[in-house]
Structure 1
Amino acid sequence: MTSIGLPHPRVPESRDAPSLRWGIMGPGWIAERFTESIQAHTGQVIAAVGSRSLNRSKAFAEAFDIPAAYGSYEELAAAPDVDIVYVCTPHTGHHAAAVLAIDAGKHVLVEKPVGLDAAQAGDIAARAEAAGVFAAEAMWTFFLPKFDVIRQILDAGTLGTITTVVAEYGEHFDPSHRIFNPDLAGGPLLDLGTYPLALVTEVLGSPRYLWAVGQPHESGVNAQLSAIMQFDGGAQAVVNTHVHNFTPTAATIVGSKATLVIDGPFNMPGAFEIRFPDGSRLRHDEPAGGHFEGLHYEAAAVARAIAAGSTQSSERTLAASIRTLEVADEIRRQLGVVFPVPVTLLPSKENHE
C-alpha cells in the first residue's frame, strides 16, 4: 500500500484489536463474508449464531466452527457468552433485531442500512444511549484504510472548497434475489444506493434541495433512481443507482483546488487519485479487494471503541447514519416508494431469514 505525497492510513492492524465475543443474528450471505473476514484477519471470536431456523444456525456454525447455534433471535440476544450482536437479517428486521439485542444489554453492529428509515435509526440510537451500550451501522467503506486517507485529505483542505460529488452504483441480480421483493424493502436504494448517498452526506452534509426521478421494475420495486442535490454554499451532488446491470461504481469529489477520483468500486478496498489543474497527480495505491479483504476493519474498529468505553464509532456515527437515511426518506417520498410495515420478531420457526 503506497500513498506517494499523501497522508498514510492511521488504521491499526486488525489483529491487534481487543477481542470481543460476537453473536451473528441472521446467517445469510453477508454474515458468511463477515465471518470469513474476521476469522482470517482478526482475533475476534464468533461465539454464537442465531436464526429463526435452528437447522440453518447449526449449518452455519458447523461451516465456520462456531461453538453455539440458536433457533431464535431471542436466545442469541440472551446468550451470556456474547458481548456484541452483529445484526444481518433482511432490512425489514434490522430495527426489531437491534432493539432485541439492546434490550438484552448487548452492544450492536447493524448491517447497513441501520433501519428502514431515519425514524428507526433514531430510535436505535436513543435506545442504545439509554442502555449505555455501543451501537453503529456496518457501513464498512468508512472503516477502510483508504477512506482514512481520504478523510485526512478532506480535513486538510487539499481539494479546496468542495463543489461537486458524483457517485453511482449499479448491479445485476438474479430474478430470485430478495432485492426484487417489495415485502423486503427491495429495490436498489437500501442495498446499493446507500453507498453513494453515504459518501455524499459524509462529504457535504445534508442537502438543502433534492430532486429525484425513478423508474419502476416489473416486480413492483423501484428499478432505478437518480437524484440531484444542492447544499448550502452552492455545492451539488448527483447519484444514480439501479438493478439493471453492473457499473464501474465510481465516485468523484471535485474541489476548487483539485479533484479526487476514486477507482471503482469506490466502496471497496482500492486506489484513488488526486488530480490538479496543472496535470500533476498524487496516487494512493492499495490492492483492490472485496468483502473478505475489507470487512475485518469495521469489526476491529468496533472492538477498539468498545474497549475504550465509547458507545459510538467515530468512523460512522449514528448521526451520520441518520442523516443518510433522511436523504433516502426524501427520495422515497418524491418517488412514492413505500416500504412495508416492519415485521416484528416471530417465535422460532423453520423458515428463511
Structure 2
Amino acid sequence: MIRFDDVEVRYGDTVAIPRLDLEVREGEFFTLLGPSGCGKTTALRTLAGFVHPSAGRVFVDGRDVTRLPSDKREVGMVFQNYALFPSMSVRENIAFGLKVRRESRAERERLVADIARRVDLAEAHLDRNVAELSGGQQQRVAIARALVLQPKILLLDEPLSNLDAKLRQQLRHQLKELQAEVGITTVYVTHDQDEALTMSDRIAVFNAGRVEQVGTPQEVYDRSATEFVCTFLGDASRLTPALLTALDARHPGLDPRRTAYARLEKVALVAPGSSAPAGTCTVEGVVSSASYHGLHTTYAVESHGALVRVLFREDGRPRPAVGERVTLAVDPSHVLQYGDDDSASDAVPDPATVAAPAVGA
C-alpha cells in the first residue's frame, strides 16, 4: 500500500533521515514511534507531500507519488494542534475540503452528516463554534474533516498529545475502533509507547532518523531487536555480569559478557515457603524501595550489584517491606541480551520484522 524506497531527507547540511526503506500494508494501523527529533514526523510529512526527499521514492498503491502535490495524494492529515478554523462552525470546518472540491451543497450536507455520526459528533455540535468544544470533541472534528474527503490514507501526527491522561486513554480506543470500522490505512506518529502498543497493528521504532525495528507490538516489546528498542519501550532493569553469572550457574546459556535486561513484569517475587515458577532461576536480593500504584506495587531489589525492578500485583499476598531479604525468580528465556551485533540472544527476532543493518531511518 505505502512504500518508502531508499528515502533520504536533508535540511541543508543536516540529514534528518539518512535512508528509509519501509512498507505499510493496506488497512493496517501502523505507528511510527520514537523520541522527539528522531525523524518520525519528517517521515509522515514526506508521505503527506509537505516535505520533499532529497533522494529515494515514495509509492502509494504502486504509484510513484514522490513529486506529486499533497492535495493529489489522496491522504487525510490530522495535526497535533488539529489546525481547525476558529472562526468557522463545526459543520463548516468539516465541509471545508468538500467546498474547495466544489461538491454540491446537498452532497456536502450528506457527507458531513454521515462522517459526524461515525466520529460520534451529535447534530447539536455541528452548528457550534469549534472554540466551544472540548479537546476530545475538537479532535473528532479534525478527524472528521480528514475522513470526509474519503482519502486512501489517514495520517495522524500525535493527535492525543494535547489531551489529559484520562481522555487520551478513552480516545485511544475510540480512534482504533473508528479506524477498524472505516477500514482506512492509517499511519500514526507518537512518542508515547503505551499508545503505540495498545493501538497498533505494527510499529516502526525510530532512533536518530533510522528504523531500529519493525514488528507487531508483542514482537517489539518481547523480542526487542536492539538495546535502544529494549530500553525505550516499557520498563527494563539492566542486569550486572555478577547477576547473570549467578543465573547462568543454574541455567547455562546466559552470557555475562553481554549487556542484558529483564522487564519488570518478567521477574517474580517468590513468597516465603513457596516454589519458584517452572523454568525459572532464583537469586537472593534485598528490597531497596517500593512504589504503590493501586493495582500493583513496583519494587526495586538489590541483587548482585543490580537494581532489579519487579512488578508485584496486589492480590492479597503479604507484601515485602523495604530492607527485607527476598527471592527473585527469572525465566532465562525472558532475558534480552545484546552485544556488538546489537541483536537479542534469548528472544531472537524474525528477520522479516527487523530493519536490516544497512537500512537506515
Same fold (TM over 0.5): no
Q: Which has the higher strand share?
A: 2
RCO higher in 1 or 2 (8 Å CA, sep ≥ 6)? 1
Bigger radius of gyration among the two:
2
Q: Which has the higher helix share?
A: 1
TM-score (normalised: structure 1): 0.30
